[in-house]
Amino acid sequence: MIVVFRVQVFEKSANLSDCTNKAMSCNYADGLSDYQNKGILGVPEIFDDAETVEEKCEQLAKWILGSKHVVIHTGAGISTSAGIPDFRGPKGVWTLEKKGEKPSVNVAFDEAKPTKTHMGLKALVEAGFVKYVISQNIDGLHLRSGLGRKYLAELHGNMFIEQCLKCRRQYVRSKPAPTVGKKLTGELCRGTKNSRACRGGNLIDNILDWEHDLPESDLDLAFMHSTLADLNVCLGTTLQIVPSGNLPLRNKRYGGKLVICNLQPTKHDKKADLKISTYVDTIIEKVAKRLGVEIPAYTKEVDPTKAEPCSLEWTIPTEEVKSLDKHYSKTVREWSKNRKKGGCREEEADEFEFKSKKFKKEKAESNDQDATTVVETEAEVKSEQTDVEVE
Ligand SMILES: [Zn+2]
């Protein structure tokens, strides 16, 4: 069967604001401003057969073993087994919103626990198999798995983080923020064990709305890691949101590989060196086992939101961005030189002068609207992938 993707545009229904007062996925969705183009919704999920899954996981484990710079890109699909609905799946928040419905599975965010995938990624990072994780998720489950800030870019924010308007520092909260869209939470800058609070700094939530710029340090690190990666692996995302959804392609021009693990078809399936269609928890479990990495169970002890007092700082140090920028510029310059020696026609002169400003300009040019976080239009998606074979 051939299914042609269609972008479904709709108005937000009037009866969608009847969530409970707990911080749940539907509250988050309701808290966002109206945004018409939610992308391709509700496409049927595909499952590889058991034997194919084994073969593909074997292949992925081999590639991870043979790679030096593995970067993982995560989306809502890695949190569905924690009881948090995704957005564009058959039972996703936006898919159901279109029908005037709410997801039936919907756990409170602070009651959700990191999944096998979150815990597995943390273990793979600690074992040195994964260099960096880039997430579009705001559910805070990577943080709560104990994954260090050094290894994580959160492109759309995190509901367990507040940011000071005055000193720009970020802090971990014990509960999900009461607001969405970078609004005042009513809290004041609180400093940490080792550093004082600034005087009179008001804190805002760290959950981006559609029109917000992506956080600069997170985006810079994500952009550079995605380009430097010899292997980009996408887990549980249809890759429809830009710029996040295009980052995994950054390494292709230097011969890097792209692996997509998702139940639904994604925008970049045709560019993938490997597509695995089964539950991400199954994939991570199989791959970790082959790599000899044990996946720890989640405990409150590893979760900074459960620490007492909850006082961890979550700011990305400027030096971290600068240091990677140095390595990035040097490496990409060498790669470009080597490719030129080989007589390749170059398209990446721009690589020499990468700065986030330039990237932002590129983003702005590629977007049909002013919003920074956007879903691509039907025409854009079709130009990438006209017909998608579902079965
Ligand atoms: Zn402050």
Q: Residue 228: which CATH number?
A: 3.40.50.1220
Question: Cα(246)–Cα(244) distance, rounded to whole angstroms?
Answer: 6
| Rounded distance from Cα 302 to ligand 1 centre (Å) | 26
304 falls within a domain:
yes
Is residue 373 in some structural domain?
no
Cβ–Cβ contacts within 10 Å for residue 131, how many?
19
3 state SS of 139: coil
Q: How far is the CA of 200 from the centre of ligand 1 (A)?
A: 7
- Total domains in the chain come to 1
Annotated binding residues, written as ranges, equal: 164, 167, 189, 198
Average pLDDT estimate for 129-137 = 98
CA–centroid distance, 167 to ligand 1, in Å, is: 4
Give residue-wise pLDDT tens across range 324-361.
999 999 999 999 888 777 644 334 434 433 444 445 54
**pLDDT-derived band at 27, boundaries 50, 70, 90:** low
**Do the domain assignments include residue 230?**
yes
Establish if 7 belongs to a structural domain.
no
For residue 107, what pLDDT band results from cuts at 50, 70 and 90? confident
Residue-number span of the structural domain to which 55 is assigned: 44-156+219-308
Q: Which of 87-91, 265-269, 297-301, 322-326 is the least confident region? A: 87-91
Distance CA 252, CA 250 (A): 6
Q: Is residue 22 part of a domain?
A: no
Residue ranges with CB less than 5 Å from ion ligand 1: 164, 166-167, 189, 198, 201
The answer to whether residues 180 and 161 touch, using CB atoms and an 8 Å cutoff, is no
Give 224-273 pLDDT, tens digit per residue: 999 999 999 999 999 999 999 999 999 998 999 999 999 999 999 999 99
Nearest to 221, CA basis, from 116, 71, 383, 26: 71
Nearest to 222 by CA among 247, 246, 197: 247
User: Is 19 a member of any domain?
Assistant: no
Residue 204: is it exposed, middle or buried by C-beta count within 10 angstroms (0-12/13-18/19+)? Answer: middle
The answer to whether residue 212 is catalytic is no
Has residue 2 been placed in a domain? Answer: no
List, as residue ranges, the binding site for Zn(2+): 164, 167, 189, 198
Active-site hit among 156, 225, 268, 327? 156
187 part of a folded domain: no
Rounded to 5 degrees, φ, ψ at 19 are -70, 165
